[in-house]
């Protein structure tokens, strides 16, 4: 976990509570975490996405930020997509195909 933190994300240390949250996720425990803006929430689901098989699903009420999150994730080397109510059906089906093909690491849903 610390190797991925350092080598993939470029951080030497976790912020408050990140390590505990990620450890619980990796142990397949249910996790509900509330963190402030800038508190490092993204790492709490992105790091497990690099370590676990399958697709990590991120539920977000903020449609306006989803594209930015996905664009940033893709730029950082993730296979990521989003699904929300403002999308054309063709784009939704493309995201579903990526899930079915096991080619998606992160899926943001609103």
Residues 33-91 pLDDT 10s: 888 888 898 899 899 999 998 899 988 888 888 888 899 889 988 999 999 999 999 99
Evaluated on CA atoms 90, 96, 102, 103, the torsion sign reads positive
Q: What CATH code would you report for 53-110?
A: 3.40.50.300
Predicted confidence band at 10 (pLDDT cuts at 50, 70, 90)?
very high
Token look-up 């996720």 returns 25
Question: What pLDDT is stored for residue 110 in this prediction?
Answer: 86
The Cα–Cα gap between 14 and 58 comes to 20
Total-model pTM: 0.83
The residue ranges of every structural domain in the chain are 1-52, 53-110
Here the tokens at position 67 are 């594209």
């Amino acid at each position: 976990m610390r190797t991925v933190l350092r080598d993939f994300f470029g951080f030497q240390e976790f912020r408050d509570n990140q390590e505990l949250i990620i450890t619980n996720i990796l142990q397949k425990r249910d996790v509900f975490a509330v963190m402030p803006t800038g508190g490092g929430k993204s790492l709490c689901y992105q790091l497990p996405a690099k370590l676990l098989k399958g697709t990590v699903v991120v539920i977000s009420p903020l449609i306006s930020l989803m594209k930015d999150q996905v664009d940033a994730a893709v730029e950082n080397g993730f296979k990521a997509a989003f699904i929300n109510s403002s999308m054309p059906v063709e784009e939704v089906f493309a995201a579903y195909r990526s899930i079915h093909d096991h080619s998606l690491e992160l899926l943001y849903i609103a």
